[in-house]
């Protein structure tokens, strides 16, 4: 792995939090992601399933984690199953985890090779009454392939039809949404790498560059700072392309007078950062561009103040909508009649700001986290308002990642990344 080793105490704490919420005489199983084929003998780069990484730190394919707090034999209360390595694998694929290194990584004492799973699992299922299956229930999930977890669930239901079933996801939604200090430090590192990329781009952009060249500048800087690359597919959208919310073609030439909306973030140790900045191709905003830019920045700053313990997700977005409505009135994009006659289910401001303001961020860019209960300290959210004006040929979005604190203002993990219009102009013209 490119990233520095993570202390195993983080993963030990995470397992303890999960097991504390398990039913008596129950076990839970977590599988690694598949290695997905592309064609011929090619595969996509492996990325570990976030849940098994969150609970073990194991960043390797064909791995299984089993948790059984009430196991009769204490050594079977936490068990890792790994693909057995050998000299051939070491030569062709590189060294895999040994049992000793797996313990150092995870803090789990009991490590078996994968071929022992069926025997050990059967034995432990004779002690258990309930099995927790790990299903993806994220509110944005879009699963179109059968995963390793899916195959495991199907096979286990057929083999053990008399066991009670439970879901790991509600527990994971709750505990993954509240970050440990070590996780926040890892995300801060990812944000710092993103900052390096952004500052590099500020010195690179000029009329005539191509969007994909800007993408390449980010990728260069991310990888040279121990990131695997982008945390998600980057958006480098110049001119009217910024009004396409998920524009990812990044294949247009940037023209003088245009703005470039860049929604990019580095990953580090599987943790995501998520930044959006909008900059002028020519190094200077026009008066109108700056007017809209400062309106978006004001909404972002005011929205950030609302991220405090006890805030309800739905109410938060309503309040941000009110702030945005006020700014759109000031910009002349809405008038009082638009607001008075608006559809409550699709308020007038949605014409120019049609997406949500915030989402959880962590191991996933759109991370697990409770959305129907009050916000808690150490949750980490993005704040990303935007104003999109196709008729004027530009869209502006600004986004930072912030941590809710027990007391006081949220902590902006991207506080060092330039965002004020004047600072961006100064850096682009220095």
* Residue numbers annotated as active site: 41, 246, 263, 274, 355, 359, 366, 384, 388, 397, 399
The Cα 278–Cα 306 span in angstroms is 23
Long-range contacts of 346-353 (CB under 8 A, 24+ apart): 347/321, 349/321, 349/324, 349/325, 352/324, 352/328, 352/387, 352/388, 352/389, 353/324, 353/328, 353/385, 353/386, 353/387, 353/388
The Cα 337–Cα 348 span in angstroms is 10
Query: Residue 277: which H helix or E strand, with range?
Result: strand 275-280
Beta-carbon count within 10 A of 62 CB:
17
- The torsion region of residue 393 among left (phi > 0), alpha (psi -120 to 50) and beta comes to left
Cβ neighbors of 364 (< 8 A, separation 6 or more) are 50, 138, 272
The Cα 362–Cα 364 span in angstroms is 5
The Cα 16–Cα 20 span in angstroms is 6
The Cα 361–Cα 353 span in angstroms is 21
The Cα 70–Cα 126 span in angstroms is 12
Nearest C-alpha neighbor of 13 from the set 65, 56, 76, 64: 56
Cβ neighbors of 39 (< 8 A, separation 6 or more) are none
Return the bridge partners of 81, or none. Answer: 64, 112
Q: In the block, which residue shows the tokens 């007017």?
A: 291
Maximum alpha-carbon separation in the chain? 74
């Amino acid at each position: 792995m490119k990233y520095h080793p993570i202390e195993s105490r983080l993963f030990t704490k995470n397992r303890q939090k999960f097991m504390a919420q398990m039913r008596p005489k129950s076990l839970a199983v977590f599988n690694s992601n598949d290695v997905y084929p592309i064609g011929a003998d090619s595969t996509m780069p492996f990325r570990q399933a976030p849940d098994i990484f969150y609970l073990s730190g194991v960043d390797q394919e064909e791995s299984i984690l089993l948790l059984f707090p009430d196991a009769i034999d204490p050594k079977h209360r936490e068990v890792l199953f790994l693909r057995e390595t050998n000299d051939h694998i070491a030569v062709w694929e590189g060294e895999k985890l040994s049992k000793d290194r797996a313990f150092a990584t995870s803090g789990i004492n009991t490590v078996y090779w994968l071929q022992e799973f069926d025997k050990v699992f059967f034995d432990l299922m004779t002690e258990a009454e309930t099995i927790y299956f790990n299903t993806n229930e994220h509110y944005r999930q879009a699963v179109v392939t059968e995963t390793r977890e899916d195959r495991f669930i199907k096979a286990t239901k057929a083999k053990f039809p008399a066991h009670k079933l439970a879901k790991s996801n509600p527990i994971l939604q709750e505990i993954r949404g509240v970050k440990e200090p070590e996780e926040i430090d890892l995300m801060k590192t990812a944000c710092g790498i993103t900052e390096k990329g952004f500052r590099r781009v500020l010195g690179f952009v000029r009329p005539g560059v191509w969007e994909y060249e800007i993408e390449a500048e980010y990728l260069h800087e991310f990888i040279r700072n121990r990131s695997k690359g982008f945390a998600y597919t980057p958006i480098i959208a110049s001119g009217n392309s910024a009004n396409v919310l998920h524009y990812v073609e990044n294949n247009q030439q940037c023209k003088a007078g245009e703005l470039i909306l860049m929604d990019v973030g580095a990953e580090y140790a599987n943790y995501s950062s998520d930044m959006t900045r909008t900059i002028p191709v020519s190094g200077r905003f026009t008066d109108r561009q700056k007017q809209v830019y400062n309106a978006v920045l004001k909404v972002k700053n005011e929205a950030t103040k609302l991220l405090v313990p006890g805030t309800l997700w739905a109410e938060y977005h309503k309040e941000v909508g009110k702030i945005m409505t006020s700014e759109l009135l000031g910009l002349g994009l809405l008038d009082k009649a638009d607001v008075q006659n608006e559809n409550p289910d699709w308020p007038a401001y949605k014409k120019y700001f049609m997406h949500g303001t915030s989402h959880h961020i962590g191991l996933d860019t759109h991370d697990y986290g409770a959305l129907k209960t009050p916000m808690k300290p150490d949750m980490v959210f993005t704040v990303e308002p935007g104003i999109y004006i196709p008729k004027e040929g530009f869209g502006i979005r600004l986004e930072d990642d912030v941590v809710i604190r027990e007391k006081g203002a949220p902590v902006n993990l991207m506080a060092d990344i330039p965002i004020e219009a004047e600072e961006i102009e100064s850096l682009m013209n220095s």
